[in-house]
Amino acid sequence: MNLLKNKAVQYTILAFVVALIPLLLDINRSTLTLWNMVIIYAIIAIGFNILLGYAGQISLGHAAFMGLGAYIAANLTGNLELPFLLSLVLSGLIPMVIGLILGLVALRLEGHYLAIATLGFGVAIQQVFKEWTAFTNGFSGVRADNPVIFGLEISEREHYFILGMIILLLLVLFAHYLLKSKTGRALLAMRDSEHAAQAMGVSLFKYKLIAFAASAFYAGIAGGLFMHLIRFTEPNAWGITLSLNLLAMVVIGGLATIGGSIIGAGFIVMVPEFIKDIEFLASIKSFATIFTGFAMIFVIMFFPHGIARIGTQIKIALLNRRNSRVDKGKGGAPNGRSKG
Amino acid sequence: MVAFLQNIIAGLETGSLYALAALGLVLIFRTSGVINFAQGEMAMFSSFIALTLFQHNMPYPVAFIGAILFAVALGYIVERVFIRPASKANLVSKMIITLGLIMIFSGLATAIFGTDSYFFRKAITADNLNAGGVIIQPNALFIIAITLLIMGILFYIIKKTMVGIAIRATAQNEKTAKLMGISVSKIYSMSWIIATVLGAIAGVLIAPTTNISTAMMMDVHLKSFIAAVLGGFGSFIGPVFGGFSIGVFDNLVGYYISLKWKTVIVYGLLILILIFKPTGLFGKSYRKKV
Amino acid sequence: MLNLEGVHAYYGYIHALKGVSLKVEEGSIVTLLGANGAGKTTILKVISGVLKASSGSVTFLDHDISKLAPEKVVSEGIVQAPEGRQIFPELTVIENLQVGAYTRRDKKNIKSSYQIVFDYFPILKERQDQLAGTLSGGEQQMLAIGRALMAKPKVLLLDEPSLGLAPLIVKDIFKIIQEINAQGTTVFLVEQNANQALAISDYAYVLETGKITVEGKASEIKEDPKVLQAYLGGH
Ligand SMILES: Nc1ncnc2c1ncn2[C@@H]1O[C@H](COP(=O)(O)OP(=O)(O)OP(=O)(O)O)[C@@H](O)[C@H]1O
Ligand SMILES: [Mg+2]
């Protein structure tokens, strides 16, 4: 029974159970497309969380990596007729190399400068998507076929869901072990204080690069999966809007949690759907965007650990309150003001 | 030569607007330690107010002033409601808040004003001047002149007046500023108001070029970041210099190198500056103590 | 004039002041002695309104100032030259002084205040257009005191003005503090340099880990064996 307490085992069981749901229930195709989108966003969000939540590095340009993954997948399976799985791996690896380069840039920058640089990076890459028509076909966009794995064509959404779930599981497990290892602790140390981390012997060089590379890899894989699910893409999909949504997923779901990334992905995909069903809200154009913006701000102000940890946070707050009453007796409430 | 001068003038025209917006960014950054990523969206919103007034048959100056008054209120409210409660939060959280504001304002603008793009008139519609083959729009001169005027006033305030000294004192050491009797919260409100107004002015003035739409400020906003980075966040004159330079550079690259790849080149430049001269060309190392 | 009664204050869970009561009489120089970390600066923060007392009262000229924002406390006439000087390094000397006068309503008389400050500290006049960050430590301390004087304070709070300065300069500064006091400004002085501080003071308190343990006339404290041993012995 101890095995069940193991997080990795839990993830695996959960993934298999969820993967089978669409086979058992009769769910329509468009709903399943959304479910697939949740998986895809979950993948990029996990990678982004390694970067922002664990390593404390912000990026406003990660949509570019996902777009890159999508275009690579389209070109490799389409023009070069590479097998789907190989192409998918490459659509993660090539962005990863570019992520490494961005990581090198990040070595010299911190905080807001990094945000500005990555914002510029995102805009520049999106512009490349628009102009490099040989690769992207410009605004006319590119198409891709259903994925074929060992001769089997995946055309049903149920099957795509299973495929996505397997890939998500692998990436979750990889992230889980990566973050549980020395690397995870080094990243957190770096996030909390680069100086202190360096003093403890953490190589900023190594870990910033790891964080950028991993996040770009996850984003590229998400892009590849997206390409074969939707089977069409064009440059407008890969701009600042997606980068902001990505930020929202991770912040709302929970910084520095794998589960939170998945919850955040669900939030971003599903909120517009729920809104559609409420007539009054549906009549307000782009209500989902407004709501997401508010939600992100609300969460970062009041629940900085995200939805995934709201429960824990409330518990801690209650405990603290009780303790502080006990150890002060008559002194009156401390007024939490401290410089910092 | 004519083409070159033509590009310089066009560059100075847009550059002056980048400079205005960059000044707004730097002002807020230096006082409250926040980069306002939403400045462009806020300016877009103010421009829509000008448009709405204009569509309701108000004269142009009234529309202009209406947008400015709206910006005053908007800057004040945003600081009060979103920024001040988070004054103790860390840098990344503060950035996330202003990034969330982008979503809120662009969403609200779509909800209220729709996704169409609207023509908006120039401030000056007189006939073009011809100076030895170089065509000069009076409106371009007006824009350059008015931004220089605004910047002049702003510099006077910052350099010479009590308020300006208080702003700089707060930027350097907020705690001590308080101990000296400066109402730091007022300084925050004021810098957000001024910055939002600067953005709004840039928005209304760029509108004839871009049309008014939810995406209208994309370019100005992003270029204002480059201007601020180029000039450095550490001084107020730097971003002005940065704004004009980036305006001219952008035009020259577009004309002489490649219109298609101009954006990529300009952002490549941004990243290069950040790597090699993160404190900007004005070189003063400056870091807001948070 | 300035009264603290049973003041408690916290930094989060750190109980920094545990029922501090003290009085600063009008026209006097009162010294607060205490080791590092005793809570001296914390007392000044509470007086200035930067840190709110969790209980107890702070009154000035018989009205409660414990709830006032820092800038309002300055308007009341209580001004600090904070620990570590905290001048504005990228403002010029004269601009630093101007900031000091920020709350003044009587704009016309500000000119004469510059003169008063320059009379106390002639070097500041020479350096008036220089960036304050380029001043020496002693000059920065003078600027910090001068800046506080620009507000025309009724009570001047000085947090360790002698810290890190050469003995000769310390002597000067203490002399000037005495002069400032002679001109009618009440002074509340936080010091570790007990000998010299007591020499110019009327009354003194000793603070130990958030509690006042000894108080009395400065001349008597100087003779107090406990204080002698703890704060004067080493010198
Ligand atoms: N911002 C803060 N947050 C948490 N604890 C603090 C803070 N400031 C001071 N303290 C603590 O409160 C206590 C009193 O500090 P305070 O600065 O008042 O001492 P002090 O007597 O002025 O010492 P010094 O002579 O070193 O200046 C110390 O234990 C200190 O660690
Ligand atoms: Mg102290």
The better pLDDT of the pair A44, A317 is held by: A44
The better pLDDT of the pair B126, A297 is held by: A297
pLDDT digits (tens, 9 = 90+) for A185-219: 999 998 888 888 888 888 888 999 999 999 999 99
Q: B160: nearest CA in chain C? A: C95
At residue A64, does pLDDT exceed 70?
Answer: yes
Q: A117: nearest CA in chain B? A: B271
Q: What's the Cα-to-Cα distance from A140 to each of A131, A137, A234, A240, B120, rounded to whole Å? A: 11, 6, 7, 20, 30
Interface test with A, best of B26, B99, B259 (most A CBs within 10 A): B99
Same domain, C204 and C116: no
Residues in Cβ contact with C126 at an 8 Å cutoff, skipping those fewer than 6 apart: none
Ligand 2 center–CA B130 separation, angstroms: 69
Chain A with chain C: Cβ pairs closer than 8 A: 25
Chain C residue numbers touching A320 (CB-CB < 8 A): none
Same domain, C141 and C159: no
Q: Is residue A58 part of a domain?
A: yes
For residue B74, give how far its alpha carbon lies from the nearest alpha carbon of chain A (Å): 16
At residue C204, does pLDDT exceed 70?
Answer: yes
C98 touches C124 (CB < 8 A): no
Residue ranges covered by each domain of chain B: 2-276
pLDDT digits (tens, 9 = 90+) for C147-164: 999 999 999 999 999 998
Nearest to residue A36, comparing CAs of A27, A24, A48? A27
Same domain, C137 and C53: no
Q: B169: nearest CA in chain C? A: C88
Which chains does chain B touch, 3 or more C-beta pairs < 8 A? A, C
pLDDT digits (tens, 9 = 90+) for C162-188: 998 999 999 999 999 999 999 999 999
At A108 the pLDDT is: 83
Same domain, C179 and C190: yes
A62-78 and A29-49 helices cross at what angle (nearest 10)?
Answer: 120
Gap between the Cα atoms of C72 and C66, Å rounded: 11
Mean pLDDT for A245-254 is 96
Residues in Cβ contact with B112 at an 8 Å cutoff, skipping those fewer than 6 apart: B48
Nearest to residue B191, comparing CAs of B25, B22, B43? B25
Mean pLDDT for A319-332 is 56
Same domain, C210 and C137: no
Same domain, C145 and C181: no
Chain B residue numbers touching C157 (CB-CB < 8 A): none
Ligand 1 center–CA C17 separation, angstroms: 10
pLDDT digits (tens, 9 = 90+) for C93-103: 999 999 999 99
Mark residue C62 as left, alpha or beta (left: phi above 0; alpha: psi -120 to 50; beta: remaining).
left
Same domain, C50 and C161: yes
The better pLDDT of the pair B121, C28 is held by: C28
Please count the other Cβ atoms lying within 10 Å of the Cβ belonging to residue A10: 12
Chain B residue numbers touching A289 (CB-CB < 8 A): 103-104, 106-107, 110
Mean pLDDT for B175-200 is 94
Q: A113: nearest CA in chain B? A: B274
At residue C233, does pLDDT exceed 60?
Answer: no
CB-based neighbours (< 5 A) of ligand 2, an ion: C 41, 83
Determine contact: B165 vs chain A, CB below 8 A: no
Cβ–Cβ of B162/C102 closer than 8 Å?
yes
Please identify which residue in the block is written with the tokens 């941004």. B270
Chain A with chain B: Cβ pairs closer than 8 A: 129
Gap between the Cα atoms of A186 and C193, Å rounded: 45
Cβ–Cβ of B181/C50 closer than 8 Å?
no
pLDDT digits (tens, 9 = 90+) for B38-53: 999 999 999 999 999 9
Same domain, C177 and C142: no
Cβ–Cβ of A284/B261 closer than 8 Å?
no
Mean pLDDT for A162-181 is 95
From C22, C41, C50, give the residue whose CB has the most ligand 1 atoms within 8 Å, as the site to mutate.
C41
Residue C190 has which token pair? Answer: 């936080």
Q: A57: nearest CA in chain B? A: B92
Determine contact: A109 vs chain B, CB below 8 A: yes
| Residue ranges around ligand 1 (CB below 6 Å) | A 338-339; C 11, 14, 16, 34, 36-42, 83
Angle at the Cα of B14 (from B13 to B18), degrees rounded to 5? 125
Query: CB-hemisphere CA count at 13 Å for A266?
Result: 10
At residue A330, does pLDDT exceed 50?
Answer: no
Residues in Cβ contact with C197 at an 8 Å cutoff, skipping those fewer than 6 apart: C31, C33, C162, C174, C189, C191, C204
ipTM score of complex: 0.90
Mean pLDDT for C17-23 is 96
Domain span at residue A90 reads 7-289
Same domain, C196 and C182: yes
Mean pLDDT for A10-26 is 91
Chain C residue numbers touching B169 (CB-CB < 8 A): 88, 91, 95, 99
Nearest to B110 among A116, A119, A286 (CB): A286
The better pLDDT of the pair A329, B207 is held by: B207
Report the percent of chain B where pLDDT is more than 70: 97
At residue B285, does pLDDT exceed 80?
Answer: no
At residue B20, does pLDDT exceed 70?
Answer: yes
Nearest to A332 among C12, C13, C54 (CB): C54
Three-class SS string for C121-138?
Answer: CHHHHHCCCCEHHHCCHH
Same domain, C7 and C18: yes
Q: How many domains does chain C have?
A: 2
A215 touches A118 (CB < 8 A): no
Q: What's the Cα-to-Cα distance from B255 to each of A95, A123, B55, B209, rounded to whole Å? A: 32, 20, 36, 18
At A333 the pLDDT is: 38
pTM greater than 0.80 (yes/no) = yes
Cβ–Cβ of B85/A105 closer than 8 Å?
no
At residue A244, does pLDDT exceed 90?
Answer: yes
Where residue C34 falls among pLDDT bands split at 50, 70, 90? very high
Nearest to residue C162, comparing CAs of C89, C88, C228, C84? C84
Residue A84 has which token pair? Answer: 């789907």
Please identify which residue in the block is written with the tokens 């083959």. B133
At A338 the pLDDT is: 36
Gap between the Cα atoms of C202 and C1, Å rounded: 14
A233 touches A225 (CB < 8 A): no
Which chains does chain C touch, 3 or more C-beta pairs < 8 A? A, B
Where residue A335 falls among pLDDT bands split at 50, 70, 90? very low
Chain C residue numbers touching A334 (CB-CB < 8 A): 10, 12-13, 54
Mean pLDDT, all residues of chain A: 89
Minimum mean pLDDT among A53-62, B89-98, B273-282, C208-217: which range?
B273-282
Cβ–Cβ of B180/C74 closer than 8 Å?
yes
Beta-strand runs (E) in chain A: 142-143, 148-149, 152-153, 232-233
Q: What's the Cα-to-Cα distance from B135 to each of B123, B141, B187, B210, B252, rounded to whole Å? A: 18, 11, 43, 20, 16
At A337 the pLDDT is: 37
Report the percent of chain C where pLDDT is more than 90: 87
C132-140 contacts: CB < 8 A, separation 24 or more? C132/C87, C132/C88, C132/C89, C132/C90, C132/C91, C132/C92, C132/C93, C132/C95, C132/C96, C133/C87, C133/C89, C133/C90, C135/C87, C135/C93, C137/C85, C137/C164, C137/C165, C138/C165, C138/C166, C138/C169, C138/C173, C140/C85, C140/C87
Chain A residue numbers touching C15 (CB-CB < 8 A): 328, 331
Determine contact: A338 vs chain C, CB below 8 A: yes
Q: CATH number for the domain including A168?
A: 1.10.3470
Report the percent of chain A where pLDDT is more than 90: 66
Same domain, C144 and C179: no
Report CA dihedral (C198, C200, C205, C210) to the nearest 10 degrees.
-90
Gap between the Cα atoms of C192 and A201, Å rounded: 38
Same domain, C118 and C176: no
The better pLDDT of the pair A337, C114 is held by: C114
Q: Whose CA is nearest to atom 5 of ligand 1?
A: C11
Mean pLDDT for A30-38 is 94
B78 touches B188 (CB < 8 A): no
Mean pLDDT, all residues of chain B: 90
At A332 the pLDDT is: 38
Cβ–Cβ of C70/B169 closer than 8 Å?
no
Determine which helix (DSSP H) or strand (DSSP E) holds C79, and give its type and residue range.
strand C78-81
Name the closest ligand to CA C38: 1
Ligand 1 center–CA C8 separation, angstroms: 14
Mean pLDDT for B44-72 is 96
Cβ–Cβ of A123/B267 closer than 8 Å?
yes
Mean pLDDT for C40-60 is 95
Nearest to B169 among C79, C82, C91 (CB): C91
Nearest ligand 1 atom to alpha carbon C45: 18
What is the dihedral sign for C-alpha C108, C109, C115, C120?
Answer: negative
At residue A291, does pLDDT exceed 60?
Answer: yes
Where residue C232 falls among pLDDT bands split at 50, 70, 90? low
* C residues 5..24 contacting A (CB < 8 A): 8, 10-13, 15
At residue A266, does pLDDT exceed 90?
Answer: yes
Domain span at residue C136 reads 85-151
Mean pLDDT, all residues of chain C: 93
Segments in chain B forming alpha helices (H): 2-32, 39-55, 60-78, 91-113, 138-160, 162-172, 174-179, 184-210, 218-231, 237-252, 262-276
Gap between the Cα atoms of A180 and A111, Å rounded: 25
At A340 the pLDDT is: 31
The domain boundary, picked from C151, C181, C196, lies at C151
Mean pLDDT for B27-43 is 92
Q: Which CATH number is B2-276 given?
A: 1.10.3470
Q: How many domains does chain A have?
A: 1
3-class SS of residue A201: coil
Give the type of residue at B238: G
Where residue A106 falls among pLDDT bands split at 50, 70, 90? confident
At C206 the pLDDT is: 93
Interface test with C, best of B31, B180, B233, B237 (most C CBs within 10 A): B180
Where residue A224 falls among pLDDT bands split at 50, 70, 90? very high
